[in-house]
Amino acid sequence: MSAKNKNLKTPATRNKGFLFNVFFFFLVVILPLVFFQTAQDASLLPRMMVLSLFLLGYSGYIYVFHRETIINLDLLKNPVLILGALYLFMSVISLVPALNRSEGLFDITKTGLTLLVVVYAAQLFSVTPGWFARLSNLAVIAASIAILIGFYQFFTQVPGHQAEHLANGRDIINVVKGLMGNKNEYASYLMLLVPFTIYAAVSGKGNWRLSGVAATILLFVMLALVATRAAWVGLFIAGFAATVIAIVNYKKLEISARQVKTIVIITSSVVIVLAAGILEGGKYTHSKYMEKLGSIVRPEADNNHFRLGMWKITARMAMDNPVAGVGAGNWQIAIPEYYSRIGLRDKDVNWISPHNDYLWILSEKGFIGLALYLGMLLAAAWLLLRIFRGQADKSAKWQAVFLCAGLIGYLAVAFFDFPYQRIDHQVMFAVIIGGLVALFQESRAGKPANVNRHMLLVPVMLFLVLSAVYGFQALKVETHVKKAIALQKAGDMTGALNEITVAHTTWRNLDAAGSPVDYYAGMIYASMNDHHAAIVAYRSALADHPNHIALLNNLGKSYYATGYFGSAEHYYRKALEIVPGYKEARVNLSTLYYVRGDFKQSYEMLRGIRGGSRMPEIKQNRRALEKLLGFPADSLKVKKHHHKTGKKDKKNRTGV
């Protein structure tokens, strides 16, 4: 056959190339652009639902139009996929002891979709020549879009406002989040694109190489601007690990001894500079970036102490539920029972995850679940080792190094954040794992066996139908709850109640903020002074989330309003068992005791409010109770301030 004929593509090859382009263009470029403003979380559930629909359409296409088998059996025998399937099975089993089983459906759906992307990606990689270069070019496109959006947000909203803060108290830089849920998700997503853009910059041709260089530089600039510590740590660990792998295997990667010395010198210099920056930590330069860098190793810095406290109680919860955990999706429901052990305050109680994926998995699925998850990752490391020892050529080995760097970066970020929850991060994780599986298959000799498409695709399509239905139903909850909140603020209580009624579904009963749907119905009824209806709604919500402290407090308020003081006290007390310093519950319980004439307990409730002596209304109530109890006039210990306020304070110190 002539050289010209060798370059001719058969219809089957062209068809597989078409499938590759469609599949990965959607996953890498289109999916991160899905954004539904009507949802509470505009990216999470919308992207999961759209991903389910796309995979359903893709599966249907290959089922109907591909007469030849599309999946080979060797892929399904891969240890990564076997352990992944067992992990998915354990996720289902963990729902047996769960307090709220419907909340585990998101985790199970997401895990199943991730495994399916691994399988499809590995298969397409194994039949598509030059797949890594194609994938890297798509990553350059995705990075360019994400960077443009990020820079637009930075230059239009941050300049002139650096000293300002958002409504939640965070720095103004948090408005830079691309199309992700927040700045941290945006930064870690950008970090996952870096290995691919670097590959395009190094191995690309023509304009793709220039685009790869530009995208890589701008990615680093944006990662510096958003100042997300987890992404910085992930990027550094990924780069260091890739360098070590390359040095250890320098002969197989055809790196000269001179180049190895150069790499060692550069790597050592970078490590020394970063270590110096961490130790300096803004002590002398007063740079916010140096402070951020130094805060990585300071437990007391920023919110580190809250995160460490959350890790501590998550580990304790895992020890209390070692076999199957508390159930997939149930961490946020069970963890409030442990809040009192770390003295969590009012403003710190809205935790949806522990900001550590490994502890998250351990607490929800027990030691067996974590062992299977870590086993899957160790199997991926084993694949890397086999790729280097196998028949793969130099380019395949280099591709394995880049994929491994991306995987290690993901795993490092997962130690401080929650990429396990986000669809974009899971897709990139699946693509990386699928790439390692494909390279491993290519490095093996022998003809792969195939599996009948009917046996595989029928259950897959059934799963995807259920996934799409779940995504639609869960998205419906968020959409209608968001509308209900807006209508309630606008004073349209009837409309708000109608939206809550429509929001109900058996598929999901908590919203994006972790609050039960009926919790909002209770608040609407309470605002209408229909406290009997509010009690019914609150008690229904309590069945879905028995440890929701605002719900417990509000239920107590409605019982108080209807004259059931004993029940009101019970629920106020339950809220305070979870967060002893919960200000609103303490004030409400103080009021209840005051009405009962129990001034001593009323006073004790106010004394337990952290910083209460600096709050005018709390201070005034405490003084009034002190008069009733016959306390000395200076019991609030305000003498420290008297020298600053002069005669006015002197007047205030007169006896009762």
Give pLDDT tens digits for 337-356.
999 888 777 656 767 889 99
Phi, then psi, of 510 in degrees rounded to 5: -115, 145
Percent of the chain whose predicted confidence (pLDDT) is above 70:
86
Query: Do residues 174 and 186 touch, judged by C-beta distance below 8 A?
Result: no
Total domains in the chain come to 2
Q: Is 165 helix (H, G, I), strand (E, B) or coil?
A: strand
Please state, rounded to an integer, the average pLDDT across all residues of the chain: 87
Do 294 and 424 belong to one domain? yes
User: Which two tokens mark 155?
Assistant: 């230059």
The full length of the chain comes to: 656
Label residue 360 by pLDDT band (50, 70, 90).
very high
Q: What is the rounded CA–CA span in Å between residue 589 and residue 638? A: 25
Q: What is the rounded CA–CA span in Å between residue 88 and residue 325? A: 14
Highest-confidence segment of 299-303, 534-538, 578-582, 594-598: 534-538
Do 418 and 485 belong to one domain? no
Which of 111, 130, 186 shows the shortest CA–CA distance to 17?
A: 130
Which of 463, 443, 371, 454 shows the shortest CA–CA distance to 74?
A: 443
Q: What is the rounded CA–CA span in Å between residue 203 and residue 653? A: 79
Label residue 474 by pLDDT band (50, 70, 90).
very high
Do 360 and 327 belong to one domain? yes
Say if 29 falls within a structural domain.
no
Q: Say how many Å lie between the first and final Cα of the chain, rounded.
A: 109
What pLDDT is attached to residue 16? 60
What pLDDT is attached to residue 238? 94
Do 542 and 634 belong to one domain? yes
What pLDDT is attached to residue 419? 93
Tracing tokens 């023509």 back to the chain, one arrives at 206
Type of residue numbered 502: V
Label residue 457 by pLDDT band (50, 70, 90).
confident
H or E element in which residue 353 lies: none
Do 483 and 426 belong to one domain? no
Do 91 and 192 belong to one domain? yes
Q: Is 69 helix (H, G, I), strand (E, B) or coil?
A: coil
Pick the more confident residue, 51 or 263: 51
What pLDDT is attached to residue 167? 65
Do 404 and 544 belong to one domain? no
Q: Which residues pair with 505 in a beta bridge?
A: 508
**Mean pLDDT, to the nearest integer, of 240-269?**
89
Burial 438-461 (b: 16+ CB within 10 A, else e): bbbbbbeeeeeeebebeebbeebe
Residue 515 maps to which CATH number?
1.25.40.10
Domain residue limits at 601: 475-640
Do 518 and 436 belong to one domain? no
What pLDDT is attached to residue 452? 59
Q: Please check the confidence at residue 581 and state whether its pLDDT lies above 50.
A: yes
Do 256 and 114 belong to one domain? yes
What pLDDT is attached to residue 493? 96
Q: Please check the confidence at residue 357 and state whether its pLDDT lies above 90.
A: yes
Say if 172 falls within a structural domain.
yes
Tracing tokens 């009917």 back to the chain, one arrives at 454
Highest-confidence segment of 67-71, 132-136, 248-252: 132-136
pTM: 0.89
Label residue 147 by pLDDT band (50, 70, 90).
very high
Which of 611, 599, 601, 605 shows the shortest CA–CA distance to 575?
A: 605
Say if 181 falls within a structural domain.
yes
106-125 tens-digit pLDDT? 999 999 999 999 999 998 99
Do 529 and 633 belong to one domain? yes
**Mean pLDDT, to the nearest integer, of 167-189?**
85
Q: Would you call 482 exposed, middle or buried from its count of C-beta atoms within 10 A (0-12, 13-18, 19+)?
A: buried
**Mean pLDDT, to the nearest integer, of 483-510?**
96
Tracing tokens 């093996």 back to the chain, one arrives at 444
What pLDDT is attached to residue 8? 42
Do 354 and 438 belong to one domain? yes
Type of residue numbered 114: T
219-232 tens-digit pLDDT? 999 999 998 889 99
What pLDDT is attached to residue 377? 95
Say if 22 falls within a structural domain.
no
Say if 63 falls within a structural domain.
no
Type of residue numbered 420: Y
Say if 24 falls within a structural domain.
no
Say if 274 falls within a structural domain.
yes
* R_g of the chain, CA atoms, integer Å: 29
Percent of the chain whose predicted confidence (pLDDT) is above 90:
64
Label residue 587 by pLDDT band (50, 70, 90).
very high
Say if 1 falls within a structural domain.
no
DSSP 30-84: IGGG---TTSSSSSHHHHHHHHHHHHHHHHHHHHHH--S--SBHHHHTSHHHHHH
Q: What is the rounded CA–CA span in Å between residue 309 and residue 59? A: 44
Label residue 545 by pLDDT band (50, 70, 90).
very high
Which of 340, 335, 336, 344 shows the shortest CA–CA distance to 315?
A: 335
Q: What is the rounded CA–CA span in Å between residue 557 and residue 559? A: 5
Highest-confidence segment of 152-161, 425-434, 595-604: 425-434
Query: Do residues 594 and 602 touch, judged by C-beta distance below 8 A?
Result: yes
Do 411 and 481 belong to one domain? no
46-80 tens-digit pLDDT? 999 999 999 999 988 887 776 554 566 678 889 99
- Per-residue H/E/C for 487-526: HHHCCCHHHHHHHHHHHCECCECECCCCCEHHHHHHHHHH
Tracing tokens 């991160």 back to the chain, one arrives at 32
Report the Cα 564 to chain-centroid distance in Å. Answer: 41
